[in-house]
Chain A
């Protein structure tokens, strides 16, 4: 999977490394901005009130 991505990135090794880094950052950003805020309320740490059941 990762090998396939690496082989299909353009340019030489340096360019590939740079693009990989940007891809990783983009994925982390999407996770922190959209995916985790959605998943976090499914965890039990949020229930601190007595009437929201």
Chain B
């Protein structure tokens, strides 16, 4: 009898410890791993850009691309840009990687393969974790129309301005990353940006979306865009 009681209580303690360890892993350890992975990606981008091996800049809006440079392709899992959103904090900056697989999302923000390239005509769509893996989009609901979303690919600064959001939708609503998303209020093709994350914070029943349009571009030689100056 005593042996049974002892074994059962030992099992309960073991399961409890396992659960606590798992919570520590999800809340803390994924963040530690993701932060170091993101910093590594950003360092790598800066190293690559300082060496001068950068992709050609996209044309500014309205500008006629006479030479029509073909955009260099993005490679799955490879970082190609850094995103800054002043509303999420002045030190908030995350790498943007190609593809939306789990492994990619664990290292930064993920660009939907098949959507437009950064700064080009179409919809540049990016997903990020709301919670766990460094909580990149934890304060997503704080985004408001007019907020700047700034990206750089090493040659050009792209400043997008949020027009609509956060808009709550269901996970199957793939229309939100269309070139001209129906719910966004945009009526004509343009250079747009879509950010997606999950909602509620720890759940997966819905998604939060914001839409932005390309407001201005400038070369990196011209310094940081106004949106990033304090």
Contact = CB atoms under 8 A, between A and B. Distances in A.
Interface of A: 1-3, 28, 31-32, 36, 39-41, 43-53
B10 A2 contact: yes
A32 to B, nearest CB: 6
Nearest to A2: B10
Interface of B: 6-7, 10-11, 18, 21-22, 25-26, 29-30, 100, 102, 105, 110, 112, 127-132, 137, 169, 171-174, 176-177, 196-198, 202-204, 207, 209
Contact of B6 (A3, A36, A50, A51): A3
Given A44-B203, A45-B202, A50 B171 contact: yes
Query: Which 5 residue pairs across A and B have the least CB separation, nearest first?
Result: A44-B204, A47-B204, A36-B25, A49-B127, A48-B198
B100 A45 contact: no
A50 B177 contact: yes
A49 B114 CA distance: 14
B26 A48 contact: no
Contacts of B177: 50-51
Given A3-B6, A28-B21, A52-B100, A47 B26 contact: no
A40 B105 contact: no
B217 to A, nearest CB: 27
A50 B207 contact: yes
B207 A45 contact: no
Contacts of B110: 49
B199 to A, nearest CB: 9
15 contacts: A2-B10, A32-B29, A36-B29, A40-B25, A43-B26, A44-B203, A45-B26, A47-B204, A48-B105, A48-B128, A48-B196, A49-B127, A50-B169, A50-B171, A53-B172
Given A45-B202, A47-B204, A49-B100, 10 more contacts: A31-B25, A32-B25, A36-B21, A36-B25, A40-B132, A45-B129, A46-B105, A47-B171, A49-B196, A50-B207
A39 B10 CA distance: 23
A31 B197 contact: no
